[in-house]
Amino acid sequence: MAHYVNEEDFIHWRCAKCNSELELRKVVVSYLDGSFPVELPVCKVCGQVFIPESLATQKMLEIEQQMEDK
């Protein structure tokens, strides 16, 4: 399972929706026809997932290129 953030990086962050603390949890990220498990910061109360920019731009680009090559 891939790790895109360290717990220390977001320890003081709060959920924008309900102002609760975040914790690392396993989530399945889906993009186009692919999906992969990752640990991401998730709100302890409402479950909203924080997706870091590096995942949204770099990893998704890699997946898109792999799928186009098929």
> What pLDDT is stored for residue 19 in this prediction?
94
**CATH of the domain spanning 2-69, picked from 3.40.50, 3.10.20, 1.20.120, 2.30.30:** 3.10.20
| Interval 27-68: pLDDT, tens | 998 877 778 888 899 999 999 999 877 777 777 777 777 767
Per-position b or e across 44-61, b if 16+ CB within 10 A of its CB = eeeeeeebbeebeeebbe
Q: Are 26 and 39 in contact (CB under 8 A)?
A: yes
Ranges of each domain in the chain: 2-69
Question: Structure pTM?
Answer: 0.70
Q: How far apart are CA 18 and CA 67, in angstroms?
A: 37
